[in-house]
Amino acid sequence: MTWTLLLQHLANGVALGFVFGLVAIGYTLVYGVVKLVNFAHGDIFMMASFFVYYGIVLFSFPWWFSFVCAIFLTALLGISIEKVAYKPLRDAPRISSLCSAIGMSFLLENFATVVFGGRQKPFYQPQILSKTLDIGGVRIQLVTVVTILVSVAALLFLNYLVYRTRMGLAMRALAHDFDTARLMGINVDRTITFTFAVGSSLAAISAIFWALRYPQIWPFMGVFPGWRAFTAAIIGGIGSIKGAMTGGFLIGMISIMLVAFLPDLAGYRDAFIFMMLVLVLLFKPTGLFGEA
Amino acid sequence: MLEVKDLHVSYGAIKALKGISFRVEKGSIVTLIGSNGAGKTTTLKAICGLVKVKSGQITLDGDDITNKPTNEIVSRKITMVPEGRRIFPNLTVYENLLVGAYQRKDKEGIKQDMEWAFSLFPRLKERINQKGGTLSGGEQQMLAIARALMSRPDLLMLDEPSLGLAPIIVEELFMVIEKIHQEGKTILLIEQNAYAALNIADYGYVLETGQIALHGPGKQLLGNERVKQAYLGG
Ligand SMILES: Nc1ncnc2c1ncn2[C@@H]1O[C@H](COP(=O)(O)OP(=O)(O)O)[C@@H](O)[C@H]1O
Ligand SMILES: [Mg+2]
């Protein structure tokens, strides 16, 4: 193993870490605000890649425009799911909305199978992104660099949103106490809508980068990335953005490094990930950055 | 002026309010006293739209505000300091105050009101960047009141602000409440500490198991035999 190769793996690990991290943030934001594990989040991720696909195949949009449209459509999808499947159950026992989330996940997977077809479809690879950069012998795909740059931008924007804007203040107030947030004059429905929109857009961004890296899309493609990202959110401490990102990094790194250093064990990747989950929870039941 | 007429509220089969009526005149301090479980908190929550009114009517200056969403009630300049303070422990003192001003856009006015709040509660200013959760009980109550004032309300409703606080802090608190009243706010005060509440109130109502048992000017209720027996320790 040479230094250059190690650096290449590191860059890939960081990029994949961002992809998981952005999905994990979707779980963590929604959980933080409405205390619901949105089990349909991985399938929202899947839908985003199909939005891109049909934007290009059906409407002949330029790829970048298709990406942008998909992000908006995915936000709308997230908002609609909340309105239809979660909002009516907001005052019901927690288990009801949990069941509804699982049902929504199956619904999306089956909907996609019926409407899009169960067979894998090729995801469009823009020429320009498949270029390989050579930085002093370290060969990095341009898409890896772009993944990292766009993710950093998305994170900075999210940080601004949550910690510097009125809407972010409302989200943080709501995360703690619905009734008191209402007493402050906060429009709870609108804030929750916004939360789902943000989480779903981030899922769309990571779905695009995921599909650029693994260019086959199909109705169940969101299942494992979804579970891994959910695990990332739990490892980091659900409700914590910093935690979701850290968990995402750990899982991205493990995934890449396992393939690089212990290729024989790469098939047990998920076993390693869940083992890490168990270990973290044993020592810190609230996750790395979670509060009791 | 706030007027409540024949208000009924239930939690499932439990009838918490069984037809209560009262009024709060503009510029007055009105108090609602009663023992635990009498329905005091439920009354305030009903006014704020946090619990559903089954029947009866709540009007503000003649407009029906029964069962309106809470954010609409707040925009009509009614605000409540909830029982148990309920400050946001994860937000700083400054952010707690900003949330209080959530519906306002006038930056200058918000700044002025924050200065006013700090003049009422100087200790909050010293702790401006501390998380709400790190404050003492008394400081949290001050923060809860200051936060409520940040919406620039006409009517301030306080739910048992003295609960669990040391007597010296309670005394300080009641002085501030009077000061806020003198600055032109109408106040609806809920208390189990009947003596302190009736002492500063223009008018008082005694709530017993969801009904108004007695009412009258504050000083008059202080002298009432029944009130003395039940709420003032004989
Ligand atoms: N969320 C609730 N669910 C069921 N019953 C409640 C609820 N809140 C209050 N109650 C009942 O309603 C009655 C009035 O309660 P409350 O308004 O909190 O009284 P107070 O504030 O005077 O102590 C009590 O009998 C109480 O047990
Ligand atoms: Mg009460």
pLDDT-based confidence at residue A2 (cuts at 50, 70, 90): confident
Domain A3-267 has CATH 1.10.3470: yes
Q: What is the pLDDT of residues A33-84, one digit of tens each?
A: 999 999 999 999 999 999 999 999 999 999 999 999 999 999 999 999 999 9
Count the Cβ atoms, other than its own, within 10 Å of residue A132: 10
Please tell me if residue A183 touches chain B, with a CB cutoff of 8 Å.
yes
Contact A185 B89 (CB under 8 A): no
Of ligand 1's listed atoms, the one at least distance from the Cα of B42 is 17
In a 3-state reduction of DSSP, which class is residue A158? helix
**Whole-number pLDDT of residue A196:** 98
Average pLDDT, stretch A203-224? 97
Nearest Cβ partner for A177 among B48, B75, B88:
B88
Nearest Cβ partner for B82 among A180, A185, A187:
A180
Q: What is the pLDDT of residues B26-66, one digit of tens each?
A: 999 999 999 999 999 999 999 999 999 999 999 999 999 99
* Nearest CA distance, A185 vs chain B (angstrom): 4
Q: Given CA atoms A230, A233, A239, A242 in this order, what sign does their dihedral have? A: negative
pTM of the prediction?
A: 0.94
Strands B186-191 and B29-33: parallel
**Whole-number pLDDT of residue A137:** 85
Do A49 and A275 form a contact (C-beta atoms < 8 A)?
Answer: no
Which ligand is nearest the CA of B46, by number? 1
**Predicted-assembly ipTM surpassing the 0.95 threshold:** no
Q: What is the pLDDT of residues A188-199, one digit of tens each?
A: 999 999 999 999
Contact A179 B82 (CB under 8 A): yes
Distance B38 CA to ligand 1 centre (A): 8
Task: Give the residue from chain A lying closest to B97, CA to CA.
Answer: A184
- Average pLDDT over chain A reads 95
Tokens of B94: 């400054």
Residues of B with CB under 8 A from a CB of A: 48-50, 70-71, 74-75, 79-80, 82, 86, 88-91, 95, 98-100, 102-103, 147, 151
| Burial per residue of B83-96, b for 16 or more beta-carbon CB atoms within 10 angstroms, e otherwise | bebbbbebbbbebb
Strands B55-60 and B186-191: unpaired
- Rounded to whole angstroms, how far apart are CA atoms A197 and B135? 34
**Whole-number pLDDT of residue A292:** 67
Please tell me if residue A187 touches chain B, with a CB cutoff of 8 Å.
yes
Please tell me if residue A223 touches chain B, with a CB cutoff of 8 Å.
no
Q: Which residues contact A151 (CB under 8 A, 6 or more apart)?
A: A15, A18, A19, A21, A22, A205, A206, A209
Q: What is the pLDDT of residues B179-222, one digit of tens each?
A: 999 999 999 999 988 999 999 999 999 999 999 999 999 999 99
Contact A184 B102 (CB under 8 A): yes
Nearest Cβ partner for A183 among B70, B91, B98:
B70
Residue ranges per structural domain of chain A? 3-267
Contact B98 A173 (CB under 8 A): no
Residues in the 5 Å CB sphere of ion ligand 2: B 41, 83
Q: What is the pLDDT of residues B110-158, one digit of tens each?
A: 999 999 999 999 999 999 999 999 999 999 999 999 999 999 999 999 9
Best mutation site among B7, B10, B11, B53 for ligand 1 pocket (most ligand atoms within 8 Å of CB): B11
Q: Which chain A positions have a beta carbon within 8 Å of B84's beta carbon?
A: none
Domains (range + CATH), chain B: 1-77+186-234 (3.40.50.300)
Contact B70 A175 (CB under 8 A): no
Q: Which residue puts its alpha carbon closest to atom 26 of ligand 1?
A: B37
Distance B10 CA to ligand 1 centre (A): 9
Q: Which amino acid is at A137?
A: G
Of ligand 1's listed atoms, the one at least distance from the Cα of B83 is 21
B82 lines ligand 1 (CB under 6 A): no
Distance B39 CA to ligand 2 centre (A): 7
**Whole-number pLDDT of residue A1:** 64
Nearest Cβ partner for A176 among B90, B98, B151:
B90
B40 lines ligand 1 (CB under 6 A): yes
- Rounded to whole angstroms, how far apart are CA atoms A228 and A20? 7
Tokens of B139: 């400081």
Q: Which chain B positions have a beta carbon within 8 Å of A186's beta carbon?
A: 71, 99, 102
B51 lines ligand 1 (CB under 6 A): no
Which of A13, A67, A73 shows the shortest CA–CA distance to A44? A73
Q: What is the pLDDT of residues A121-140, one digit of tens each?
A: 999 999 999 899 988 888 99
Average pLDDT, stretch B83-108? 96
Contact A180 B75 (CB under 8 A): no
* Nearest CA distance, B102 vs chain A (angstrom): 6
Nearest Cβ partner for A172 among B50, B90, B151:
B90
**Whole-number pLDDT of residue B234:** 59
Count the Cβ atoms, other than its own, within 10 Å of residue A145: 16
Distance A72 CA to ligand 2 centre (A): 45
**Whole-number pLDDT of residue A35:** 94
pLDDT-based confidence at residue B232 (cuts at 50, 70, 90): confident
Residue A264 has pLDDT above 70, yes or no: yes
pLDDT-based confidence at residue A6 (cuts at 50, 70, 90): very high
